[in-house]
């Protein structure tokens, strides 16, 4: 790995899947996250660190079942697969699954509000239009609006590394 790959690289060490065929499947595991940090502020040298990172994956059908209750829900590269009505339905389900004060984090290659800067996000939207029946990528303002319609408050957009951004909303 190089310095630019400061995003997480996960390697599954252990997992515990559910065995009941009629229940949502869960997977709990332990992975490794790598992060590169400079030796000191202003340094041209950095070191890589490997950190243990537990994870939980819900493998249920979010169209047929309610979302699991949690303090924080993350939808990574999920909403862009679906049409507008399905996007709104998933955001409504997320709102219902969260406790008061809970948070939803949506991350994708979110298109900038002016639709001029994030070429990757625009191309990803074109790709979703080709590969899915109704999927499309969207701007941060679009996602914030849909989240607010579902009841979320204090929504904001934050740029991540590369073309990705996240939209955060609180119940």
Tokens (6 digits) for 89: 């339905």
Which entry of 67, 75, 79, 80 is annotated as an active-site residue? Answer: 80
Examine the residue annotation and report whether 45 is marked as an active-site residue of this protein.
no
Determine which helix (DSSP H) or strand (DSSP E) holds 90, and give its type and residue range. Answer: helix 84-97
Q: Which residues of 21-56 are buried (b: 16+ CB within 10 A; e: fewer)?
A: eeebeeeebebeebeeeeeeeeeeeeeeeeeebeee
Nearest CA-CA partner of 23 in 51, 55, 60: 60
Residue 140 to residue 118: CA distance in whole angstroms: 12
- Report the catalytic residues: 80
């Amino acid at each position: 790995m190089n310095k630019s790959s400061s995003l997480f690289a996960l390697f599954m060490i252990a997992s515990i899947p559910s065995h009941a065929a009629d229940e949502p499947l869960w997977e709990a595991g332990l992975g490794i996250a790598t992060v590169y940090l400079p030796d000191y502020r202003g340094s041209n040298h950095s070191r890589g660190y490997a950190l243990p990172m537990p994870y939980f994956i819900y493998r249920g059908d979010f169209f047929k079942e309610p979302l699991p209750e949690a303090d924080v829900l993350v939808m990574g590269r999920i909403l862009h697969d679906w049409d507008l009505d399905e996007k709104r339905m998933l955001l409504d389900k997320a709102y219902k699954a969260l406790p008061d004060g809970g948070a939803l984090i949506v991350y994708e290659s979110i298109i900038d509000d002016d639709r001029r800067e994030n070429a990757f996000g625009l191309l990803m939207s074109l790709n979703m239009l080709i590969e899915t029946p109704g999927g499309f990528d969207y701007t941060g303002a679009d996602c914030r609006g849909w989240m607010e319609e579902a009841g979320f408050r204090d929504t904001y957009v934050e740029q991540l590394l590369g073309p990705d951004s996240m939209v955060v909303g609180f119940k």
